[in-house]
Amino acid sequence: MRFVAIAALCAAAVAGAACAPRGARDARAAAPPTPPLAALAGASGWLNGPAPPESLAGRPVLLVAWSDADPRSLRLLREAADWQRAYGRAGLRVIGVHVPEFAFAADTAAPARALRRLGITLPVALDAGSRVASQLGVGDDLPDWVLVDAHGRRTLTAEGDAAARVHAALLSSLGLAPGGAAPVAPAAGGSARRVYCGTGRVPGGPLADAVPGRPLVFTSQFRYEEEGRAYTPYPIGRWTPTADGVVSARGGAADFVAMRYDGGRVDAVLGATAPARVWVMCDAGWVPAAERGDDLRVDSRGATYVSVDEPRPYALMRGGGGHVLRLSPDQPGITYYAFLFGDE
């Protein structure tokens, strides 16, 4: 399961050690009856905050648990920020709760960069120890929404792309007519399927039985062995499996991770020890112009790539039919954390 408690490891991370990724768990079913706003006391820190308890008393509060490695979380967090601007004078307060999915995200710099890219100034509680998420009952399908009324009581809990439902509930809590002065109609779509590349989290394929922490050579004699099952990463060449992802042990066209999928939007969570390029091939060639995601670039030869300068999701494909993608690193030290698939 995805959201395993990481308090001890993240405490070490603050001192300079790496923090283990969150594993899946059914927290919602086992969530203790902690008052939602009281859970914020467990935050490991704040960005754009903190939000003092007295500033939240006597008004509706929307808590949004989100991940900097999830495009849907980022899109809907921006929507929640729009609601704060639209309904703040009516009493609404929106608070983000950052949920780290990978070791890099336990560093305050990761969510801070994401907020700057989005232009969001909401107060965000950092949850490196998983204390806030566990008390709120955050589930596997981010973002996670908790609406609290003026008396501090939980009136709505929702997971995932539930913006329309959450928006209607907060209008009701503010005593506003449905469909009133909404700044933006709640959007649909976004990444809905996640494929992790870390050992213990990967859904199958050669990485499922790989020994983490040492370089391995992955080979195939036939092309079909590189494609295999859909939504399963197949590394070819020299790679180092880890709990967080699979790391390139060298660069070059002979080393890549192949992924077959059925169509739609594709993002990849990538990181590197130094600025690098990851070349992206679609089937037997480069990515067609009509299907290139926002982060794809093209060199003078027409080759498609992403420039990896920080760990985050990179938009590879904007839509279209099913393909086999091959992502080839240009140097060692590039980590492939996860692939994210949506219907946009």
User: Can you tell me the distance from the alpha carbon of 288 to that of 304, in angstroms, rounded to the nearest whole number?
Assistant: 9
Q: What is the pLDDT of residue 30?
A: 46
Q: What is the pLDDT of residue 7?
A: 39
CB 111 within 8 A of CB 99: no
184 Rama sector, left if φ>0, alpha if ψ -120 to 50, beta otherwise: beta
User: Can you tell me the distance from the alpha carbon of 290 to that of 284, in angstroms, rounded to the nearest whole number?
Assistant: 16
CB 269 within 8 A of CB 102: yes
Q: Are strands 93-98 and 124-126 parallel, antiparallel or unpaired?
A: parallel
Burial of 203 (0-12, 13-18, 19+ CB in 10 A): middle
Q: At what angle do helices 109-118 and 71-87 cross, to 10 degrees?
A: 60
Give pTM, 2 decimals.
0.85
pLDDT in tens, 171-199: 999 998 765 444 444 554 555 799 999 99
Query: What does the CA dihedral 320, 323, 326, 327 come to, rounded to 10 degrees?
Result: 30
Q: What is the pLDDT of residue 223?
A: 66
Q: What is the pLDDT of residue 43?
A: 96
| Residues of the chain scoring pLDDT < 50 | 1-32, 180-185, 188
- Return the DSSP state at 209: G
CB 309 within 8 A of CB 274: no
Query: What does the CA dihedral 175, 180, 182, 186 come to, rounded to 10 degrees?
Result: 90
Backbone angles phi, psi at 77, to 5 degrees: -65, -40
* Helices assigned H by DSSP within the chain: 7-14, 27-30, 36-39, 53-56, 71-87, 109-118, 131-136, 163-173, 223-227
Q: Measure the CA angle with vertex 314, ends 308 and 318; round to 5°.
A: 140
Provide the token pair at 97: 């709760």
Q: What is the pLDDT of residue 9?
A: 38
Domains of the chain (ranges, CATH numbers): 7-188 (3.40.30.10), 192-342 (2.60.120.260)
What Å distances lie between residue 206 and 77, 213, 259, 344, CA to CA? 35, 15, 12, 29
Q: What is the pLDDT of residue 230?
A: 94
Provide the token pair at 134: 């566990």
Omega cis (within 30) before 313: no
pLDDT in tens, 267-317: 999 999 999 999 999 998 999 999 999 999 999 999 999 999 999 999 999
The partner residues of 89 in beta bridges, in order of sequence, read none
